[in-house]
Every structure is written in structure tokens, then in C-alpha cells.
Amino acid sequence: MTDKIKHHLNDALLMGYSSGILPEAFNLMVAAHLSLCDECRARSESFDALGGEILDHGNACDVAPLRGSSFEATLALIDGGPVNETPAPAMPDAVLPKPLRDYVGGDLDAIRWKSIGMGVKQAILPTSKTATARLLLIPAGMAMPDHGHRGTEMTMVLQGAFQDEDGYFARGDVEIADSDLHHTPVADIHEDCICLAVTDAPLQFNGLIPKIAQRFLRI
């Protein structure tokens, strides 16, 4: 489906993912997108290869000494780890990409939605406190409150589509919003829109009601 994806991840995010410096919520977003997008996956693999070359030729890097028991400790962890199981069968009709299904333990039927008003539902995913990840279900044709950003917000469409001042986003597309973007996302009228959204700072709402609700909805 990668030929249908029009909005991709930038190099900074892919490099951060390859080097392991992104918050857990952002790692989840990148992994979910890479599972759907051949183009970004190829770029990510090139950064992985570059990192490997740096490690292979990084003679100038400091070397940390290992304790004499490190090898035995590693073997003990392997021996005590989970037994490899038969891989789960592919789910071609699944809405959630495989990294997300693995994370929540299933597809949409595993999601515990909570209503946040006007038919909109959300499910906050457990991640580290440095950033927040949530699934959003927005009824077809519904407009979300207009808002700006104190940090970075990434939104990937999993089902349906939405449109805002930055363009039209369908399945697999990722919108990367920062303090320069103020927008009002509107779900496409043909189907309910389900998105994965990650943020590293609270959103900035103008309306009084969204401002009041913000502290309770953790957005």
C-alpha cells in the first residue's frame, strides 16, 4: 500500500529511531508507519546500515570494560526467557499495523475505548512519561477542536481519512505538527477515522470548553 502513502516520516525521526533516542510513544509511531510504508522502511534501513558502519569503524569511541560475569549473566537471562512460540498468523484485514497489534494485544476488539464527547473516543496507551500515545476514533464528518502545539504532535491514519490546513491524510499517512501549525482536523465523511496520535507536550486549544476538558482528557 506504500504507493498510496503521500505523507512520510522525516529523516530526523528515522535517524532518531535507528539510534534509539526517541521516546517510547514516538518509537511506536515510527514502527507502525514503517510496517506500512516501503519507502520509509528502506530509508530507515539505510540509517541502520550507516550506524553499523560507524560502530564498525569507531576506533575513536570509548570502550567500556565488561565485568567478568557479563557473559554468564547474559546466558542466564536467555535461559530464563520466554520460549519461542509459533508466529501469529497474518491479519490482512486488521486495522492496526502489526507493531500496534503486538502492543495492545490484538486489533480493534482489544481496544478499551473511552468517550470524550461528541462521539469521539480515545484509548491512551501505556508508554513512558516523556511522550503520550493514544488511539482516536473520530466519527465521519466530525471536526476536532482547532488547536496549536507546544511541542510535536504526530498523527497517523489507520482507518478512514481526515483533512486540515496541511492537506489530506489517509491510511498510513503521517502528519507531523509543531508550533508553526495551527489546524482543525475534519474526518472524511465516508468513514469513521481512526488514528494513532503521539505528543511530547500538551496541545494548545483556543476554545474554552476544550481548555477545561484538557486536564481530564490528558491531551
What's the CATH number where 215 sits? 2.60.120.10
pLDDT profile of the chain (219 residues), mean per 10: 84 95 96 96 90 57 61 64 55 90 95 91 93 96 82 94 95 91 90 95 62 53
Among 44, 30, 42, 48, smallest CA distance to 172 is for 30
Q: Cα(217)–Cα(219) distance, rounded to whole angstroms? A: 6
CA angle 54/56/60 to nearest 5° reads: 70
Predicted local distance difference test score (pLDDT) of residue 84: 52
What is residue 49's predicted lDDT score, i.e. its pLDDT?
A: 85
pLDDT at res. 151: 84
Q: pTM for this structure?
A: 0.78
Contacts of 91 (CB under 8 A, 6+ apart): 98, 101, 107
Q: Residue 50: what pLDDT?
A: 73
Q: What is the pLDDT of residue 213?
A: 55
Task: Name the domain count of the chain.
Answer: 1
Q: If you write DSSP's letter for every residue of 21-47 in order, what string do you get?
A: -S-HHHHHHHHHHHTT-HHHHHHHHHH
What pLDDT is attached to residue 96? 97
Domain extent, residue 63, equals: 1-219
**What per-residue confidence (pLDDT) applies to 214?**
47
Q: How far is CA 201 from CA 3, 35, 130, 155, in A?
A: 32, 26, 9, 14
Q: How far apart are CA 82 and CA 101, in angstroms?
A: 19
